[in-house]
Each structure stands twice: as C-alpha cells, then as structure tokens.
Amino acid sequence: MMKKLVFNLPVLIALIMTIFACVKEDDIDTDSDIKLNFSQDTVLFDTVFTSVGSATQAFKVYNPSDNKIKISSIRLGKGSNSPYRFNIDGISALEVKDLEIESKDSVFVFVKVTIDPNQTDAPLIAQDSLIFVTNTNVQDVKLVAWGQDAYFYNRAIVSSDYIFKADKPHVIYNYLIVDSLYTLEVSAGARIHMHPGAFILVYNSATLKVKGTAEQPVIFEGDRLEDYYKTLPGQWGRIWLYAGSINNEIDYAIIRNGETGIQVDTVGNSSNPTLRITNSMIYNMTGIGLLAQGTTIEAANCVIGNCGSYDLALTLGGSYDFRHCTFGNYWNNFQRFSGLILNNYYIDINKNIQTRALTKAYFGNCILYGKNNDELTLDESPNSSTFNYFFDHCLLKTSQSITDPTHFNNSIRNQEPWFMDPGLIQFEPDSTLSSVINKGSLEVINTSVFDITKDIKQKSRISDSFPDLGAYEFFEETK
C-alpha cells in the first residue's frame, strides 16, 4: 500500500531560499589572503599644466580568484582633501563600498586630478593613494601628479645634448640616463628633484656639466618640500658617473638628502679627470657622500659631511687631488664608519684579493674631523701594491701617528676646529681659538689646477698670506 507524499509549502519555500542563499555566499571568495592584481602600482600624471590643470588616467583591477570577490571598500587616502576623484563602472565618489568582481574578471578605475600649478606655495608633487580593502586585506595604488609646473622625466634617456634650464624645477622618477657621446648641462640656479630611488646615470663616453654660481647654485634633492623632509636623508638614489663617463664637471652644487651623493666609476677615454668638482656641498646621505672606484678626481673648495657610512670613499685605487676641502663626520644617527677611507683592492667572487694601484691621494689644506676617535681609515691591500697618500698641511682627527714624512707634511692632529654648527653642516670656524686658522700653505693654492685664492663663499684666502684650512676662510666680525 503506497503512502502519499505531503508537502508543507512554507517549509519548502524556506528550504529553497536557504539553499540559494548558501550558493550565493559560497560563490564569494572570503579568503583573508586574497589579493587583487593591478595593471600598475602607481598612476603618474605627467601632463605639464599651464593653467588650472585637469587630467584623467585609468588602470584596471583584476580578480585572480576562481570565485567572485567583494571589495568592501575603495577610498582616497586623503578623503575630501584630496585633489583626486575616481570613478568605477560609472560610480563616482570619494569612497565605494561592496564592489563585486566576477571570477577572473576586472574593472576599470578612472582617476581625475585637478591642480592649479601656479600656486607656488603648493607641494611640488601632489600625492595620494587609492586604498582597497578586500577580506580585511589592505592594498593601495599610488597617485602622483604635479603640484607645481615643472619638467618631468620618468625612465628618460637623453639621446642628444640637453640643457636643464633654471626656469622651473626638474623632477626625475626612476632614472634619467645620459646616453653615450652626449652631454647634460645644468644651468645656474636649476633645481633637480628626485623621487625615492631615482638616479641620474651618465653613461660611457657621456658627460655631465653642472654650472652653478655662488649666487645661483644648482640643487639636487628629493621631491618632497615639506619641512619634515628638509633634513631627512635617503630620499633619492644617486648621481652615478658610470664607468667610462668623461670630462664631468660640477661647480657650485648642493647635493643633499639622498642615499649616495655622487658615485664615480673608473676612468674614461680622456686625458682629463673623470670628475672635477669645485665649490660644492654634499651632505646628509644615508650611505656615502662621494664614492670613487678606481677613477680620477680633482676637487677644491668642497664640503662633504654628515653621511651614514663614509663622507669620502676612495676605493679600488685611482688618482685623487683634494685641496681646501672640509670633511665633517657628524651624522646624527649611529655612525657606522669613518669620515674617509682609502682603499686599493677588492675581493672577487672566488674570494681572491685583486689589487688596484692607488697612484695618488693628495690632500692639501684640508680638514678631516668628526665624532669618531679615528676619522681616517687606511685600507691597504695585504698584497704588494701601490698605496700612495699624502696629507699636506691638514687637520686630522685620528688615533694614528702622523709623523711619517712620506705621508704627512705640517699636519696637525686632534685639535678642535670649533665649527659653527657641525650638525647643521655649518663647518665655518666660529672662534679665534680654532686650530685651522692660518695653518694652510700658499703653495697648495699656487700649485692647484683651480683658482682657489677665494673660499667657497668667495672670501679671499690670501689677503693675509696665511690661508686657513678647509673650505672656509675665517674672518672675525668687527663691531
């Protein structure tokens, strides 16, 4: 005898709805490790605005999951204070919530920025980010645009002779490469702003000419101009005079707040030094102020100081001539090494010592001072090789003896220079008690390839026939 099936309609409807609800919920990937993919991690607005500027860029957001995902929130980091606005699938807002993207699908995000570049008190770079929250996982896409009118270079290659003019700032993203056989000339008063990690590379047989003046120095620094960043090191990469670059000249430059100020690699096919640098300041680098690797440098009236590793590193041999330079090692953070290292070898991948002749390392009327007990490191090859260095009328902070006449002439040791404010890169003598006053040699000046009868501030060194040591000549103020 067969029994009849009896259906309770309300219960059946509830059961069907529960099944469908579960299917819908299961269709969305709730894995907390899920990450979105983006067509780009930074949106750059490289339009040069000439009036009130408005530009739009787009990028794509991808769902890599095999299931649908729900982005719980997409918002601008600066909210209503942001110069940016965005639009997703026709939705325009400061924040979008609960956006679903099908499996292996994507959506376009349109970003618009509106800036008046003629507001000179605005930041040089206007930055924000779009923040995506998916299953508690937070990701962002950087937004970068002009805050002022400027020249913009992103992964740029200079393939002809080119001039950085001083009419508006130059901003470098990633890198700018001066290609072989060409010259980059930087005009007096130009300002070069480097994004984090950015560098200038002067390639084999290429040349850099920086032509600053005492009144209009050329400035290399980061692209953030707020007060917080004025003394923050490590904001950009380096100026890299690559192996084989030639005839590089830098006069009246201020190079600050990067990782390595200048790196100079090996000699090029020229009778001139790889680098001639005068009347310039390099400071507040997380790494090395001036790094030389088996090259030739002539320098005068330069101040290099307050760097995280070395102020000056002359490595892998080479030939160097420094006159009336001040090396001040007063890094505010933990100082890892000395102010100056001289080296004539390296260890190859097979752990063999490869020597490189240090044919000349001459320092005339210079100051090497700082917080360490010994600011001079002599790293000579354990194998036989040329290791020539000479300190002629210099002040040295060192625990080493300076009595050997083959390496030292009329130099003084561990006597206070009484700098004005070394923490702020003010290495001028500030007292008649300074040990550097009238301790220099006129012969150092007269035999220089440069005219260094005046100091870095254009004050006469020879008015009393007794030049001071370092880049600055002391003049007592008269009341």
**Pair (115, 167) in one structural domain:** no
- State the average pLDDT over residues 177-189: 97
Q: Report the pLDDT value the prediction gives residue 357, as an integer from 0 to 100.
A: 95
**Pair (111, 164) in one structural domain:** no
Residue 86's pLDDT band, with cuts at 50, 70 and 90, is very high
- State the average pLDDT over residues 332-354: 88
**Pair (263, 292) in one structural domain:** yes
Number of folded domains that form the chain: 2
**Pair (138, 196) in one structural domain:** no
**Pair (240, 353) in one structural domain:** yes
Residue 383, classified by CB atoms within 10 Å of its CB into exposed (0-12), middle (13-18) or buried (19+), is exposed
Contact 351, 392 (CB under 8 A): no
Q: Report the pLDDT value the prediction gives residue 122, as an integer from 0 to 100.
A: 65
Residue 23's pLDDT band, with cuts at 50, 70 and 90, is very low
**Pair (337, 379) in one structural domain:** yes
**Pair (396, 412) in one structural domain:** yes
- State the average pLDDT over residues 350-371: 95
Residue 9's pLDDT band, with cuts at 50, 70 and 90, is low
**Pair (103, 192) in one structural domain:** no
Percent over 90 (pLDDT), the chain: 70
CATH number, domain with residue 122: 2.60.40.10
Which of the two residues, 32 and 97, has the higher pLDDT score?
A: 97
Q: Report the pLDDT value the prediction gives residue 51, as an integer from 0 to 100.
A: 44
In a domain, 353, yes or no: yes
Contact 316, 294 (CB under 8 A): yes
pLDDT tens across 426-478, in order? 999 998 999 999 999 999 999 999 999 999 999 999 988 789 999 999 987 65
Tell me the residue length of the chain: 479
In a domain, 20, yes or no: no
For residue 293, give both structure tokens.
Answer: 């690797």
**Pair (176, 315) in one structural domain:** yes
C-alpha to C-alpha distances, 305 to 91, 277, 326, 332, 457, nearest whole angstrom: 53, 15, 8, 11, 17
The mean pLDDT of the chain is 89
Q: Between the ranges 24-28, 40-44, 149-153, 295-299, where is the mean pLDDT highest?
A: 295-299
**Pair (60, 170) in one structural domain:** no
Residue 276's pLDDT band, with cuts at 50, 70 and 90, is very high
Domain that holds residue 79: 37-146
**Pair (230, 368) in one structural domain:** yes
CATH number, domain with residue 426: 2.160.20
In a domain, 18, yes or no: no
Of 254-258, 305-309, 328-332, 376-380, the least confident: 328-332
**Pair (68, 174) in one structural domain:** no
In a domain, 463, yes or no: no
In a domain, 473, yes or no: no
